Structure 1
Amino acid sequence: MSSTGSCFDIGAATSDSLNEFEYRQQQFAAKHNIPIAQLDYLSDAGLLTKFPVKCSESGVAGNGALMRLTPVPLFFYRHPVHAVEYSGFSGMITHGDQKAYDACRYYGALIVAAVQGAEKEELLDNKFYETHLLWFNSIPLAPEIMKIAHGSYKQKGGYDAGIRGKGYIVNALEAALWAFWSEETFEKGALAAVNLGDDTDTTAAIYGQLAGAYYGYKKLPGKWIQHVYANRFLLGLSKWIAYEGEMWQPN
């Protein structure tokens, strides 16, 4: 979905992965004698598990993996272990670096905790990972992500203290968490994220996922909501994801 009717400003990593995905679809369809038009409706679990969805090259660690994360933890939030695991998988589809995988796992866990009603102090606790170790299947985070989880973003100086909203996923995660930590309302945090400069829209998008889960829809600025493209559709889609998540049960 695009506010202009066409795709724009897509990152190179995501674009490359989408092209690779389409190529694999064609190969998969030919191998299994499936019409291309039917691939999006494929429900055969056996066949689905055979499709290689991780379409990124290794070492790709851009912020695009984080900016689209929320539907995954929103769907699975009643099952935190699955939510964290699939959050990581969602990033690996387009960004093959371990740091991207772990940034998505950690941020997915924060979103799950926020949706479950955690207080801000718990979300920002430097020991959040350790106290939710079971959610992570006791699998450690990459050192760069663990440093953030242990509070590296808590810099009162913000930009002057080295916080940067750049395209590298480590910088982007740190910047989004700094904005969430440093301000007490959704609006002020979003402005803080944008005013860091650099990759402003993505930093704010990453911030908004956790902040939105924590503050809730009713505390979003009404003057902003009315200007969001297709806001009623997005609200309905969010409710649908949450509803489908209620129906889902692990095997």
Structure 2
Amino acid sequence: MALCLANSLIARRHFNPYDQLVRYKWWYKNGYMTSTGRCFDIGENTSQSFDEFQRRQESLAKDHQIPLEQLDFLSDYHLLANFNVDCSKIGAAGNGALMRLAPVPLFFHKWPIHAVEFSGRSGQITHGDPKAYDACRYYGALIVATLRGESKEQLLDNEFYVKHKPWFNGKRLHTDIEAIAKGAYKQRQGYDGGIRGNGYIVNTLQAALWAFWADENNFEKGVLAAVNLGDDTDTTAAIYGQLAGVYYGFKKLPENWRDQVYAKDFIKCV
């Protein structure tokens, strides 16, 4: 899904949630941009959102007499402006909103306010809980700060949110996310200290940041720490990898891991 999001940003040259949902639907239904040719793992909240998006597309086609085969390629500004892209159920707070995030702050990092807001919106279209929106905003801000040269100490500063408050454009973080921003993830005992990498976005955000905090400045150690928490291991590691990958850089990733990455040439080009 991260590749779908990156493709959308490049193709549309801006943040276009309708186009993002189209590409996610292709991934879900047809295996677009997958490593296996099919979608083999998708959360309930995410799949429900894509099914709802398709229902809304079909309703749009009926109301405006649009051929179904044209629905994925709409360019009419007024039609798209009136299309409700928030396809999530109320209260959906799964971690799928966060695991695909990185292309947004990468694309908009020169404009932090836009980067942070669009990070939140990128998650909100499939996960409607305010905690999902704010988890994505906060993590997007961390990635932007990394790209702008801030040190690891600055990124993990318990006052990071306060010091970057203008980036959040007057919208306060949910208290659960603000607690993480203030350092709730800094648990030396890790799993025994209550860190959990499960499907709930608040817990996964905390777990990914714990892995970054505890990785001894080594990407491989951080990934293994994230995975060894158990539960939703691939998602926790993927979320860790977005921030840590930007911070450590391509050359510091294990070479044997880099060689196995799907679409690595495309990613390098992007």
Distance (Å, rounded) in 1 between the aligned partners of 2:56 and 2:220: 42
Matched AA of 1:194: V
Q: Which residue of 1 aligns with 2:220?
A: 187
Q: Which residue of 1 aligns with 2:43?
A: 11
Shift of 1:152: 0.3
Distance (Å, rounded) in 2 between the aligned partners of 1:114 and 1:7: 31
Q: How does 1:78-227 map to 2 (within 5 A)?
A: 78-183=110-215, 184-227=217-260
RMSD, aligned α-carbons: 1.1
TM-score norm. by structure 1 comes to: 0.92
Distance (Å, rounded) in 2 between the aligned partners of 1:36 and 1:148: 44
* Counterpart check, 1:41 vs 2:39: no
Q: How many residues align?
A: 237
* Counterpart check, 1:32 vs 2:64: yes
Any idea what SS the aligned residue of 1:151 has?
helix
Matched-pair identity in %: 66
Q: Which residue of 1 aligns with 2:85?
A: 53
Gap runs ≥5 in structure 1: 240-251
Any idea what SS the aligned residue of 1:129 has?
helix
Q: Which residue of 2 aligns with 1:73?
A: 105
Shift of 1:31: 1.9
* Counterpart check, 1:232 vs 2:265: yes
Matched AA of 2:266: F
Distance (Å, rounded) in 1 between the aligned partners of 2:153 and 2:233: 26
Q: Which residue of 2 aligns with 1:243?
A: none
Shift of 1:174: 0.2
**Residue range with higher mean Cα deviation, 30-39 or 168-177:** 30-39
Distance (Å, rounded) in 2 between the aligned partners of 1:101 and 1:76: 17
Matched AA of 2:116: V
Gap runs ≥5 in structure 2: 1-32
Shift of 1:215: 1.0
Shift of 1:30: 2.3
Matched AA of 1:209: Q
Larger relative contact order (C-alpha < 8 A, sep ≥ 6)? Answer: 1
**Residue range with higher mean Cα deviation, 215-224 or 148-157:** 215-224
Alignment deviations for residues 200-239 of structure 1 (CA, whole Å, 9 cap, x no partner): 0000000000111111112111110111122212322xx2
TM-score norm. by structure 2 comes to: 0.85
Distance (Å, rounded) in 1 between the aligned partners of 2:39 and 2:208: 24
Matched AA of 2:240: Y
**Residue range with higher mean Cα deviation, 110-119 or 149-158:** 110-119
Matched AA of 2:114: H
Matched AA of 2:223: A
Q: Which residue of 1 aligns with 2:15?
A: none
Distance (Å, rounded) in 1 between the aligned partners of 2:125 and 2:236: 20
Distance (Å, rounded) in 2 between the aligned partners of 1:211 and 1:32: 46
Shift of 1:38: 2.4
Any idea what SS the aligned residue of 1:150 has?
helix
Alignment deviations for residues 165-188 of structure 1 (CA, whole Å, 9 cap, x no partner): 011001000000000011111111
Any idea what SS the aligned residue of 1:8 has?
coil
Distance (Å, rounded) in 2 between the aligned partners of 1:163 and 1:203: 11
Alignment deviations for residues 65-84 of structure 1 (CA, whole Å, 9 cap, x no partner): 10011111111111110111
Matched AA of 1:208: G
